Structure 1
């Protein structure tokens, strides 16, 4: 059993649940000890209500700096600080207004005008205005170390409720990063912070539904923001984040009623639920588990995987139903060869044949592809071509039990078509460095969530040749598959220069045609994102039928939306 990853950088997992992601625990019982059985939060008592998130982490490090997304504690983004809009990546919905109520672009996409919400106050009681929004984006512009989204704009508040961002060129595709992925900070606080790149922001002042109360390395507490702008919310008075040593401890806390919210892959979850009627869960498959390939010989990749025929054969030789059963617990969703999410993104997938991957192995087709490409089987059953064995090394991280299971099963599946797969397990740092620098053949990883559901935010990072590099150089921008295709580059440039969805769909159709043929990232399945709840004291969680937010405890921004929707159980 292991908890879900705390976050993804360019789609990859972390070994542990970092504080910014999943160390959160909303508990009804104090972390210093004691049972929840005597807690006064039940019976619909909103006045004394509290909630707990369970996570798997060691001692927590105090950091509420919203510009340090990788190390800031859970709840910093979305619970204490808010963006202008909320983007629900669990479904295909329009952005939800938060600190802004409207926005518009000029005709050439070089200016974005934003209307800010009236009547908002910071948690210290000071009024919020467009000046705070302008200050936030100018701070990013003037401090490159904070500008992780590559924002190339300056901002000006034209009045208390209007801010205009001006870009150097057409910038429609910066919209979700600006509107939905940037915490707005108070100018009256941050103008006095000497170094915003290092300050841990011990006493955060935000506009979110909760504000800071107390911190220890084992737990920290947020309390209701009395100045919150949304009438009647939040109802729950207190949020407690705790650290638990193991995933087993988190599971035990959930079933014992000492924790209310956790994200973990629990084997036998359905049986567990039968024995605990007070528990529920939501599954939000969103990360495409894939075989990454170092694909370009021109950029220095070496090995049989540089042959598109080999990549295609691997794609068809997989028995994904078996992989889901053995490694995904049966909770994984069907992937798409386009790398989009079939349920959420069906309207963006041009060819119906590419909506989902084959679920069973088509060894006949894989054999046909390899035969046509000149890979012939030897007496040992392994293929070769021009004296080169069709032998490939695939790396994953030690301790990732589900991915280790995938690789071991793939070894058997690919052997049936004459491919010798050699799984290796590495420390995370070595695995990550290999992928980033291109010093690998195959790597098991996942394609993460983009800034919005628009395919541009998947395709630009993974397929644009501007985001890759020669083997030996860093491709930290995302295209670690060393994929380079001028046709794809041109289509992405055209799609990125417009906000006309019809034009974008036509360009994404071109991208999809090319990448399905070239397959630099070979999709396996959409990895499950299981989140479990205890409904004894608190209700209102997302459900499989109502994914009003991405419920995972490690998902920034969404936590604030979930907390605002909770009420004490009757």
Structure 2
């Protein structure tokens, strides 16, 4: 059990990625790209227009007070296509563009510290012995921004809303319907969730905010009144919408910028749970292009932005002594994100339905060169398809001996030659492998910006190894990747944070789709033995000791079959301007991953304080 790829990276968001990427807007965290939504029509009970295929051009305007620059946190991310969408389940909503400052979970989890922080929950989740239900106690002092007490009823309502068939298009709805039989508040502070089958991972997988994961909780007293809960936009400053529990709320919004003001009545301060965030206002402006963003950072017009490529962040750090990154002012500038990069094979179609061909490609890749040239040395290799997070270290250490038999990082052109000649190929006049007059099509598809660092270098390496390789980033790359028409493609492999199961689950055959049919990002690979192992892991609690032997069995199959081959770790090289603000997460204070577009942003904000003291 784990959030499906569609919930980790909503497909309706993913499918417009190519359009944004061509404008330089698509490079997002860890494989959670953002893009325009599909159409949804209708009107909610309040008469508010609902989400459509494009964001509304006009929305109600607020009347924000003036706030000086030194009290304003200036961020650059994304675009303005989600204008006026505050319902976290409406088509087009995107928490990554500052909206995570409004939203809170029952629990936070840090991928770096491994620590859980109860928030709207009071204590830990309590499972039945058979794991067929979980009981959660909510805090009694939490409140919505309109003064209504937050309660177990809001939790139960949010889960039941996702379970409702008429809300099937909502993010997480499919998974909730699969796992949840009923969610009910037995009193104002107790919610019991009954499962359709044992679900020992449910709370961690769905109710904790970690990176981009975790369901959103909505106010029952407002959403229960909406006839179209999916189409309800929930934005109207005159009604003080949105109603949230987080430390900020929206006070004005245009395509050019959104203004979020600190709530000085935030319940967490009143309850003594947290200090008030330093910034009185957050302004989020679009990320237009790296060059423009770099200049704004150098000029102190921005405090942080979307992660930058190695040469760009080096320039920013060199030209503004107040700019730091995760590793202060030194390379590699970033931290490992949960989205390690792989070269994916289409295992259901020639030529890469042949394991030998997959291995030949693997031996033609010089990963160190990808880092040295593509990342200018500011990066790390990936031998296994997992981020090198501390909670995962015991698993990865246990699996590394297998690499002697199944080396994923072994650059060896002699082995390429041996495999290819053994299969009857010979190099033609251009030095490319061919058999019966036909060359090996090794066209690599990717998303602009996501693969610019190393994609072309990889293609040249494979061409030097004798494959007819090139990097292609057309507007329909996403379609080619998801419908299986791409034979090779570059993408990240997100999932594992506290244990390896979520990443392993991505290769379960439930994500398999026929060539030509729209589906998840996958290698179109399936293995019945592997499926059984992953299903056994799903029956265990998160990081249960029983996972390790199953993990090793699954990894042996993965390494033997090689449905995709690991390349490099994905890094977040995020600039932090200390001219006005301090308390940014860094390697010396790794309290959270540093991406303000993660769902943990509202917790991060409690550590951001004025530089002047």
Partner of 2:197: 169
Partner of 2:118: 97
Partner of 2:153: 131
Structure 1 CA distance, aligned partners of 2:160 and 2:551?
33
TM-score, normalising length: structure 1? 0.85
Partner of 1:498: 540
Relative to structure 1, is the Cα distance of residues 506 and 385 closer, same or farther in structure 2, using a 3 angstrom cutoff? farther
Map 1:169-248 → 2, pairs under 5 A: 169-180=197-208, 181-202=214-235, 203-225=241-263, 226-230=265-269, 231=272, 232-243=275-286, 245-248=288-291
Write the deviation string for residues 111-149 of structure 1: whole angstroms up to 9, x where unpaired. Answer: 011121231111111111111111111111113222525
Correspondence for 1:148 among 169, 172, 175: 172
Structure 2 CA distance, aligned partners of 1:204 and 1:140?
19
2:547 is equivalent to residue 512 of structure 1: no
Correspondence for 2:382 among 325, 335, 338: 335
How far off is 1:212 after superposition? 2.3
2:515 is equivalent to residue 460 of structure 1: no
Relative to structure 1, is the Cα distance of residues 112 and 374 closer, same or farther in structure 2, using a 3 angstrom cutoff? farther
Structure 2 CA distance, aligned partners of 1:309 and 1:126?
62
Contact 1:483 1:520 in 2 (8 A): yes
Structure 2 CA distance, aligned partners of 1:22 and 1:368?
43
Correspondence for 1:52 among 67, 74, 88: 74
2:339 is equivalent to residue 291 of structure 1: no
Structure 1 CA distance, aligned partners of 2:151 and 2:312?
50
Partner of 2:361: 314
Relative to structure 1, is the Cα distance of residues 545 and 449 closer, same or farther in structure 2, using a 3 angstrom cutoff? farther
**SS of corresponding position for 2:252:** strand
Structure 1 CA distance, aligned partners of 2:439 and 2:557?
27
Relative to structure 1, is the Cα distance of residues 186 and 520 closer, same or farther in structure 2, using a 3 angstrom cutoff? same
Structure 1 CA distance, aligned partners of 2:33 and 2:510?
29
Correspondence for 2:482 among 436, 439, 443: 436
Higher strand content, 1 or 2: 1
Write the deviation string for residues 378-430 of structure 1: whole angstroms up to 9, x where unpaired. Answer: 56533345775333222224x43x62563432233223433222333310xx2
Partner of 1:348: 395
Relative to structure 1, is the Cα distance of residues 112 and 233 closer, same or farther in structure 2, using a 3 angstrom cutoff? same
Contact 2:82 2:92 in 1 (8 A): no
**SS of corresponding position for 1:164:** strand
Contact 2:100 2:597 in 1 (8 A): no
Map 1:259-298 → 2, pairs under 5 A: 259-266=302-309, 267-282=311-326, 283-286=334-337, 287-296=339-348
How far off is 1:516 after superposition? 1.2
Contact 1:60 1:219 in 2 (8 A): no
Partner of 1:361: 411
Contact 1:102 1:116 in 2 (8 A): no
Relative to structure 1, is the Cα distance of residues 265 and 348 closer, same or farther in structure 2, using a 3 angstrom cutoff? same
Structure 2 CA distance, aligned partners of 1:347 and 1:487?
24
Structure 2 CA distance, aligned partners of 1:69 and 1:347?
39
**SS of corresponding position for 1:172:** coil
2:139 is equivalent to residue 87 of structure 1: no
How far off is 1:369 after superposition? 4.1
2:548 is equivalent to residue 523 of structure 1: no
Structure 2 CA distance, aligned partners of 1:552 and 1:114?
29
How far off is 1:554 after superposition? 2.9
Write the deviation string for residues 67-104 of structure 1: whole angstroms up to 9, x where unpaired. Answer: 14753354665321211111223x25033211113202
How far off is 1:342 after superposition? 2.9
Structure 2 CA distance, aligned partners of 1:510 and 1:404?
35
Relative to structure 1, is the Cα distance of residues 355 and 96 closer, same or farther in structure 2, using a 3 angstrom cutoff? farther
Structure 2 unaligned blocks of 5 or more: 1-7, 36-65, 209-213, 236-240, 327-333
**SS of corresponding position for 1:178:** helix
Contact 2:83 2:253 in 1 (8 A): no
Write the deviation string for residues 51-72 of structure 1: whole angstroms up to 9, x where unpaired. Answer: 1102353565111111147533
Count residues with an aligned counterpart: 528
Contact 1:334 1:342 in 2 (8 A): no
Bigger Cα displacement from structure 2, 204-213 vs 377-386: 377-386
TM-score, normalising length: structure 2? 0.79
RMSD (Å), alpha carbons: 2.9
Contact 1:75 1:559 in 2 (8 A): no
Correspondence for 2:370 among 323, 328, 349: 323
Relative to structure 1, is the Cα distance of residues 355 and 182 closer, same or farther in structure 2, using a 3 angstrom cutoff? farther
Structure 1 unaligned blocks of 5 or more: 1-6, 24-37, 43-48
**SS of corresponding position for 1:78:** helix
